Amino acid sequence: MSAIELNNVDISYGDSKVVHGINLDIAEGESFALVGESGSGKSTILRAIAGLAPDWTGRISVLCKPRTHGVERAVARQLQMVFQDPYGSLHPRKTIDAALSEPLAINGVGNRGERVQAMLNAVGLDQRFRFRFPHQLSGGQRQRVAIARALMLEPKVLLLDEPTSALDVSVQAEILNLLKRLRREQGLTYLLVTHNLPVVSFLCDRLAVMRHGRIVEVADVALLKQGKLVEAYSQELLAATEGRVLVGTTS
């Protein structure tokens, strides 16, 4: 069964069309990455799937059900998003407990206290953090809270928008390990947006390289590891990651 399916999707912001003709099929349990430089439209695709960028045409299905253009409660229970900046994505005046309980309250799920406790354990946070405010937590701890909040409704699919790029290397390692473990334990499907190819290599099964709102190449991660991506632009990205500049490739 496919977890996320996009058929010929175009996405616009007002008059400008930023994403053109995207076709993607992500299987359930798969971890898929969208890579590309800023402005290539990779985050926009996530936002459209999550219902945050409603101006699109084509067809988007989540777990085989066609998606409407807005935010839907039924979809929210199956699909959640984690944002890039843990400093901006948590409400500064709500305790961690309130932030984690809110999705449960909205969706009328009971037994909230226990669920919050269990989730804090699952993301590796001590119970003493439960009644603290975001500003009392470090960046890595906050990103754990953001991941915990996304997982509160036990979704099947997680959209991850640069989940580690605001974090230090050592903290990034912790969060990547956490994401890998959660996926194994809960059988999650990941759609990850990043510009960091080593992260893709660690966490994903397949990747799509994007440029100027189009998918340039879809490849298996094994090819990335061997440096055997086919398209010239993908090679350019790979070279840049290793700190080389390919001659004559400036756009």
Is residue 10 part of the contact set for other proteins (CB under 8 A)? Answer: no
Task: Please check whether residue 123 is in contact with residue 140, taking contact to mean a CB–CB distance below 8 angstroms.
Answer: no
Piece of 54-62, 85-93, 110-118, 192-200 that binds other proteins (CB under 8 A): 192-200
Is residue 236 part of the contact set for other proteins (CB under 8 A)? Answer: yes
Is residue 180 part of the contact set for other proteins (CB under 8 A)? Answer: yes
Is residue 133 part of the contact set for other proteins (CB under 8 A)? Answer: no
DSSP code string of 64-115: TEE--SS--HHHHTTEEEE-S-TTTSS-TTS-HHHHHHHHHHHTT---HHHH
**One residue of 10, 25, 28, 37 binding other proteins per CB under 8 A:** 37
The answer to whether the Cα torsion of 114, 76, 157, 128 is positive or negative is: negative
Report the distance separating Cα 19 and Cα 163, nearest Å: 22
Piece of 19-27, 128-136, 145-153, 222-230 that binds other proteins (CB under 8 A): 222-230
| Residue placing its CB nearer to other proteins in the complex, 75 or 203 | 203
**One residue of 172, 189, 213, 215 binding other proteins per CB under 8 A:** 172
Residue entry with tokens 């390990």: 177
Report the distance separating Cα 146 and Cα 95, nearest Å: 12
Is residue 113 part of the contact set for other proteins (CB under 8 A)? Answer: no
Is residue 16 part of the contact set for other proteins (CB under 8 A)? Answer: no
The site for other proteins (CB under 8 A) is made up of 37-38, 139, 168-174, 176-177, 180, 195-199, 201-202, 224-227, 236-245, 250
